[in-house]
Amino acid sequence: MDLFAPKTTIGPLIVLGGMGLQPVSAPLWRELLTLLPRTAAGIIIFSLAAEPHKASYEQRIKQAEEMFCRLDIATQTIRAHPLANQEQPPLLQPSDGIFLIGDEPRALSTISQSAIWQQYKAGAAVIATASMAAALGEHTFAPIKPYPPTLIAQEFERLPGAGLLPGAAILPYFDRFPNGLLSRLEQLFPPGIALVGIDEQAALVADIDGCHVAGLGNVTILRHNEADLVAEAGTRIPDELLYLHR
């Protein structure tokens, strides 16, 4: 079945540069909530953690639940286990949006795509944070274990992404990159791939009308190691630089 076949309804794709769970992100969420249907269905918090019972990760889920509660949005939390041998993804109830939170980009293309994308095709928003945001381009990346003590010493592997943004690789936390990390990531991807750097308090919003920037901070698009565009909040990104897979 072609999950990306032509359709009459499609939800917005909202790609956050960070987790969006701190009070400083409140202005960003006020802007993003205008894009959601806002029915009684509420939001599904869909967790794809490599270590789902890790205390720090449970704290992030709790933060997400509390954040949506403050915004007066009902939530349902689903903890998916990103195991290669899992035969069926969790069943999802109809929702206004799916908030993807996790640290295992490999799992997004194995156990959850069909359930999530069917809702997306029906008009629900897909809101992706950090590592899950990075998984939505044509290509993505993941750290290789064992993890070194510093990020700049980390080795990465290239992985196929979900393909919602063709020709792109998404780099979250772009304004927090240490010196030298960008050049190392650039070497992972094929020539011509657009690197889409999203600042921590910014979001890339894509729908059938195109792509634009929301929140605080910028979205930077780089090709061939040069910045093609640094887009501020409210800026539309030209289709020739970045477009949504319809």
User: For the chain, which residues score pLDDT lower than 70?
Assistant: 1-9, 50-53, 81-91, 107, 109-113, 225, 246
Q: 115-122: long-range contacts (C-beta < 8 A, 24 or more apart)?
A: 115/89, 115/90, 115/91, 116/46, 116/92, 117/3, 117/4, 118/3, 119/11, 119/92, 119/94, 119/95, 120/10, 120/11, 120/13, 121/3, 121/7, 121/9, 121/10, 121/11, 122/9, 122/11, 122/94
In the prediction, which pLDDT does 171 show?
96
CATH of 13-237, one of 3.30.360.10, 3.40.640.10, 3.30.1360.30, 3.40.50.880: 3.40.50.880
What are the tens digits of pLDDT across the range 68-104? 998 889 999 988 765 544 555 566 788 999 999 887 7
In the prediction, which pLDDT does 84 show?
46
User: Taking the domains of the chain in order of start, what are their residue ranges?
Assistant: 13-237
In the prediction, which pLDDT does 18 show?
94
Global confidence as pTM? 0.88
What are the tens digits of pLDDT across the range 155-181? 889 998 888 899 999 999 999 998 888
